[in-house]
Each structure stands twice: as C-alpha cells, then as structure tokens.
A and B are shown apart, each in its own frame.
Chain A
C-alpha cells in the first residue's frame, strides 16, 4: 500500500511515503517503519481538550419557519467520530446543520458547537468545516485558486494555504484537474471540491449536508470512501446528513434518526444492526422437522423461501440449532448470521408501528 515518492526539487535523503506515518532509518538495522495511528485532533488541541468533550449539543432545539415546523424540541449530543443524521427529506437535517453553523437562528432552545454558541464563536469557526447541500462554488476560478482563498479565509497564511490547497485537492482525487475552472467540472468533481474546501484548513469537525446528492453509484461509493477514510485515518469528526441509509452504514459510527423535526432514535450504528442479528439456516432435507425442533426449543422462527430464519440470535441459539438439526438428522447446508441493514430495520419499524 505504501507508495514511495521522492519529493522533487530537493536532495535530502528523506523518503516520502503515503499511508505510513512515521519511519526511522538506521544504517545498521535498515529502515524501520512504524504505523502510527494519528491522534485525535481534540487530543492535540489543548484549547478544546480542556473544555470540550461534546462536539455538538442540541437542547430543545426548535426552528419554525412561519407555521412550518422544521425542528421541534430536539435534544442530543454528538461526540467524536462519524455521526449520521438520517431522515427523509423535510425531516429537519439541513435545518439542524445550519443551526449548528449559526447560518440560521433557533426559534427556541440552543445549539452549541465545541462548547460555544455558533453565533458568537467567530474564532472557534477556524476549526469547523461545512460542505453544503447546494453547489456553493464559484464557476469562474480554478479549484486551486478557490481552495487557497478558502484556506486563507479560515485563517491560514498564504504560503501554508497554497500547500494545504494542493494536498487537500490531491486527497480528494483532483490533483490533475486542479488548474481547471470549477465551472467545467462534473457533478462528482464539484462534490469533491466542496469536500476539499471543508477540509482545507484541517478542521476538528466537519458538517456534511447530503454529500452524496446527485452522484451516480460509482461517484457515491468514492465519496463515501473518502468520507470514511478522512474520518477514520485522520481522526476528523464528521456529521453527515443523508436520507440514504446505505450512506450511514458505510461511514458512520453513530446515527441520529430525525422524523418530522423530532429525534426518532439515536445510537451506535452497530447497535442498530447487531442487536437485531438473525441466523439463516438452509437444510437439504427434513425442513419441517427442523422448524418444529427449533420451535420446541423456544426459538422464534420465520420462513423466507428455502431459508429458515431464526430471529434475534444470541450465543446460546447456535447450540440449540446444532441440537435441533442433530435431533432430526437433517443435512445442514448453510448456517450464517444475517445482519439487518438499517433500511430493513426502519422498514420493519414502520410496518409494525401502531396506526396514527
């Protein structure tokens, strides 16, 4: 994976690698590479280490537009890591993000970012990144020029802004095209520039509003990969809003589900999927007997075509299945855990929700 690159215009013997974070070369023992996980930026930024444990906090956050309720008494906290804001269109995701950024004021309640009110924290915004849902890009400048400018608007001196612009554009895969005007870019490339401008000043926290909107399946996959990599490898906390559950599954550690401006559910993504793990069983013969033996052992069993589904599997279930299969002397073809996708979970929840 590590790619050795020699930096041009220099004679120093340093080896440049991508993917490896530290290396020591010793003449006697040869080069020794150590993979070092980057520390969380929160840990390196003393100003925030002391004061901020929670990155974002909403308390009874409410926003009305005239008679329309965009968000109603939403209370939640967002910690380090990648958090998904999931909900259908009009659930209040963009409103929530804009409230945290101070782009709109709440009707009541409070939204705090890095421990401060977003309206008041002018200097605090130096460590915040935002990728909006809409295009929000100037068409007549090059991506390089735009990123350099945005880095400076975030407080970086010009020389550093230049380096950061080049590095960030390389990170999002726009190295070759960085001197082309943004107006000539495809939708996918524009999305990457939007992500790059949110990262160029190395923020602690990035808020991404529908980052995969308008992308084809390939572009979407690449964008999600980029978000996941940025969050995991560099420890930058991210909040992404989306109506696509797949986006959350691929990227997020935690999820907050919004519905009609209210927090419907929240928790770890794995909690949503793992706790509801099923077991899929396929047997070559004695299918009905196997089902009867499973039911006899107190398991909840469902049939899905040829597959016997044992719901809500836990450790002891495996033994029960083994015993049941042995008891009727059936030939076991497949026994596999099946983790629900978030889509299936919410589909189930909706189907079983009481009317009204």
Chain B
C-alpha cells in the first residue's frame, strides 16, 4: 500500500491561485462600498442608521397601501407614484448626507486610501467604485417604496388588470425618474465628502445646503399670506405680504425658485410624470422652459461628479 500525503502549512503559505488583477480590485471597492453604507461586517451601531432610513423610505408607501386597502378607491387623495419621490425626498437627502461621507472620509482621514493606491487600482477606479456603490443603494432605497406602492395600487384596485392597463406607463416613469433622483442624491453629498475628512462637516454642509436653499426660494417666492397691491403708474401689481415684505413675482420668481436645490431632481420627476407640483418653492420654476430645468439638473449632477474626480485625480500627491 502506498499512501501519498500532502503537507499544508497552516501558517503563511505561498499563493499560486488565480489573480484577477484590476477587475477584481474594482469589484472589491464597489462591494466594500455597499457593505460600508449598509453597515455589514461592522458593529450593530453601524447598521441602525441605514436600517432606520430604509424604513423611513418605505413607511410612507406602506401607510398609503394600508389606507388604500381600507378605504379603497375613496382614497384618491393619497399621493401616487408621481408624487412619491417628493414625499420621500427628505429621507433620501438625509440618507445621502449622512451615508455618503462614510464612503470617502474615513479612507482619507485614516489614510487607508494609500493602501488602495499601491494596489492594482487607479484613483478613478476607486471613485467610480464608491460612486456606483452609493448610487445602487440610493436607487434601491428610492425604488423600494415605489414598488410597494405600485403593488398596493394594483391589488387594491377593483379590477387590477384594468388598473395596470390604464396606468402601465407609471412603471417606466418611476424607474426612469428613480435613476435621475438617485443620481442627484449620490453626486452632491459625495462631492461634499470629497473635500473634508470629517463626516459630520460633510453631512452638515449637505443638509444645510438643502434646507437653506429651499428656505430661501420659499421665502422669496411664496405668495401665501400676501395680497396683490397696485404698484406705480404703469399699473403693474406686486405682492405685499403680511410680514411687511414683498414676494418676488413674475419672471424673477421663476428664476429665484431655481435656487432651491432640493427641487432640482423633483422638477425632472414632475416632467417625466407630467405632474403639477404643490411645493411653493418649485411652483414658479415649473413654469420655466423644460430645457432650463434639465440644464440645471445636469449642472448639479455633472458638476459635483467632476469635482470628485478632480479631487481624487491628484490624491497621490
């Protein structure tokens, strides 16, 4: 009898297995990005926030579906697919502002980025991997509520087939609008995170940016609690408000309302759904030509992406 044995050194060994190089490295950055944002492989505390925000993004849909199932067609006052992204936009923005810095800031602060840069990876590979990871999660977050809502709407309809026949267009619309909303939520917070090592600063900056710009646009253009008053000899009118201020009206209001960054992707959503907005800050801007809204959106997505790329292009120095 002849026994052939093999010896395995249980400590360090040489490695002769497959090496997949740069493509595996890119995938690893993407997968690690997803795990980081969701808190997988980290302590329980890292999982709480993403879980809460995920719940926040689907709870409105669940609530609407429950109301629909009880009230049936009488519940037509509820927001539908066209309004859903606006309903959850605050949650999505919060998620973006809080989670995006998690992907970029610690790597630079702890200098783990240097360990990446000496591996088969370029700075662009790293940034693209992180970007895609975050985009995919935000998209999943955006879609999850919409899917629940769609299923609820179909099942609560008196004739589900008829509902689908009449409203099938909502599906490609929410899918398309979801991509654009998620893209916007991904780029702005990542750009903020690329320029500070402190997560809290990046998150505060993004939240502040959205609150302040929306507040400014609202304050300037809202005509609530205002009344029309004759102005000057040319017979034009102006809006005088109860607080003694004056609301910006007419063409100027349309342009001022563009200031509200939060509404930038929502206007695209409204264009896709052919929807009329209720948000005071967005109302005036909705009257502007579509191309202006599209350009504005492109500026707010391509701009931050370019900033992130420029920041990381020279990260080696």
Contacts and interface: CB of A to CB of B under 8 A. Distances in A.
Interface of A: 5, 7, 13-27, 31, 38, 41, 44, 101-105, 122-126, 128, 130, 132, 134-142, 145, 149-150, 152-157, 160, 164, 167-168, 170-171, 181, 197, 199, 201-202, 230, 234
A234 B112 CA distance: 26
B120 A125 contact: yes
Contacts, number: 169
Given A154-B25, A201-B15, 15 more contacts: A14-B8, A23-B7, A25-B5, A104-B317, A128-B118, A136-B112, A136-B114, A152-B24, A152-B27, A153-B119, A155-B22, A155-B24, A156-B24, A157-B24, A234-B12
B122 A153 contact: no
Contacts of B3: 13, 25-27
A7 B6 CA distance: 12
A21 B42 CA distance: 37
Most buried by B among A13, A15, A25, A155: A155
B28 A149 contact: yes
A14 B24 contact: no
Contacts of A150: 115, 119
B19 interface: yes
Contacts of B115: 130, 132, 136, 150, 153, 197
B117 interface: yes
B74 interface: no
B244 interface: no
A125 B121 CA distance: 8
Contacts of B7: 14-17, 20-23
Interface in B75-107: 106-107
A5 B9 CA distance: 9
A231 B111 CA distance: 26
B114 to A, nearest CB: 6
Q: Is the interface of B mostly helix, strand, loop or mixed?
A: loop
Interface of B: 1-22, 24-25, 27-29, 31-32, 41-43, 46, 106-107, 110-112, 114-122, 316-317
Contacts of B31: 152
B18 A157 contact: yes
Nearest to B113: A136
Contacts of B110: 135-139
A132 B120 contact: no
A154 B119 contact: yes
A16 B25 contact: no
B111 A136 contact: yes
A126 B111 contact: no
Contact of B19 (A19, A25, A126): A126
B106 A138 contact: yes
A123 to B, nearest CB: 5
Nearest to A173: B11
A54 B40 CA distance: 43
Nearest to A164: B15
